[in-house]
């Protein structure tokens, strides 16, 4: 039974097949057991059926798939783009505002936004492409090992199950079964190398998500300079907007990872928001101070 349980965990069977096997098991085991009376058999069989019905939906019930589900990798890419976009362009626009020209801030900020989005998107594309190439290389190595050195594969499978304290007879049975299974390569990729197969459009999706996140995050500190007169007023509005944006982003990012319920999770979210505000403020202050220092130095030389 332990072998069948582990086998079903690794290679899941359709629910209808599980029901058929359960019904066959009930019809054979309870009737053939010499130690159980017919009354006890009926009672325990009904108890077993009730327990199973609580854990599994009926065979006729169709499990509706989720209509909308965002891939975790897409969320991770968006966080990467937004975190850089909310920090770097804000520091640049704050630094350029020290020069005192709104046009310089707008033109310089837009140039940095476009160049930064292209650079970040290209980096994401190359990273995802390298991940795909690495997966393919590992897959080919695993296939060669499966075909050329079955003894090493069996030893690896044994070590995998030994780490979970699986009984030795069960390990031998599982190893013997997997050694002749057509899914052996997939098993090794998933449990030995822990590498999920990358989606074919992963590189393009990664590039677009990071680039859009960077541009959207970086456009926020630049937005006030389009609507207000004077660099100082634009900087004041930009700082106010970015404090709110950085705190909201830090809070949401932290709670998305740690959870939303409970005051402890809320405190972690507040801490994450404050950290983002501090990092963004330090970057903007450093950039602004350097620009002022360079401008004063250039004026002294001139």
What is the rounded average pLDDT for all residues in the chain? 77
Give the C-alpha separation, 119 to 79, whole Å: 16
Contact present, 117 and 164 (Cβ < 8 Å): no
The H or E element containing residue 116 is helix 102-148
Section 65-79 average pLDDT: 70
Give the three-state DSSP class for 11: coil
How many residues are recorded in the chain? 302
Highest mean pLDDT range out of 5-14, 47-56, 60-69, 114-123? 114-123
Count CB atoms within 10 A of the CB of residue 226.
9
Q: How far is CA 211 from the centre of its chain?
A: 18
Q: Is the pLDDT of residue 87 over 70?
A: yes
pLDDT tens-digit map of 177-191: 888 888 888 888 888
Of the pLDDT bands very low, low, confident and very high (cuts 50, 70, 90), residue 27 is: very low
Section 144-169 average pLDDT: 87
Of the pLDDT bands very low, low, confident and very high (cuts 50, 70, 90), residue 197 is: confident
What pLDDT score does 174 carry? 87
- Helix axis angle for 102-148 and 202-222, nearest 10°, is 160
Of the pLDDT bands very low, low, confident and very high (cuts 50, 70, 90), residue 19 is: very low
Domain parsing of the chain, residue ranges: 2-55, 74-131+201-291, 141-192
Of the pLDDT bands very low, low, confident and very high (cuts 50, 70, 90), residue 101 is: confident
What pLDDT score does 211 carry? 95
What pLDDT score does 35 carry? 44
Report the candidate in 56, 54, 64, 65 with the shortest Cα–Cα distance to residue 15. 56
Higher-confidence residue of 196 and 51: namely: 196
What pLDDT score does 302 carry? 58
What pLDDT score does 11 carry? 44
Those residues whose C-beta lies under 8 Å from the C-beta of residue 99, and which sit 6 or more positions away, are 105, 231, 291, 295
pLDDT tens-digit map of 217-274: 899 989 999 888 888 888 889 889 989 998 998 898 888 878 888 888 889 899 989 9
């Amino acid at each position: 039974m332990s072998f069948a349980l582990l086998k079903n965990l690794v290679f899941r069977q359709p629910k209808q097949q599980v029901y058929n096997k359960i019904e066959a098991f009930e019809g054979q085991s309870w009737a053939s057991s010499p130690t159980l009376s017919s009354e006890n058999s009926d009672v325990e069989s009904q108890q077993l059926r009730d327990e199973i019905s609580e854990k599994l939906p009926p065979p006729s019930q169709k499990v509706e798939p989720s209509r909308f589900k965002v891939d975790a990798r897409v969320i991770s890419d968006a966080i990467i783009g937004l975190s850089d976009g909310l920090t770097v362009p804000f520091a640049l626009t704050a630094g350029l505002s020290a020069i005192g020209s709104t046009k310089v801030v707008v033109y310089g900020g837009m140039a940095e936004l476009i160049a930064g989005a292209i650079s970040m998107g290209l980096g994401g594309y190359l990273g995802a492409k390298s991940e795909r190439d690495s997966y393919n290389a590992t897959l080919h190595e695993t296939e060669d090992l499966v075909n050329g050195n079955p003894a090493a594969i069996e030893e690896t499978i044994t070590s995998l199950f030994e780490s979970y304290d699986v009984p030795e007879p069960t390990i031998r049975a599982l190893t013997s079964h997997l050694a002749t299974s057509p899914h052996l390569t997939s098993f090794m990729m998933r449990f030995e190398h822990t590498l999920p197969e990358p989606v074919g459009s992963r590189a393009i999706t990664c590039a677009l998500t990071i680039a859009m996140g960077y541009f959207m995050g970086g456009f926020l500190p630049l937005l006030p300079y389009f609507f207000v007169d004077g660099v100082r007023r634009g900087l004041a509005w930009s700082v106010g907007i970015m404090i709110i944006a950085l705190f909201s982003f830090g809070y949401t990012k932290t709670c998305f990872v740690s959870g939303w319920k409970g005051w402890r999770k809320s405190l972690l979210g507040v801490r994450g928001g404050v950290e983002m505000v501090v990092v963004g403020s330090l970057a903007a202050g450093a950039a602004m101070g350097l620009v002022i220092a360079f401008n004063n130095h250039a004026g002294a030389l001139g």
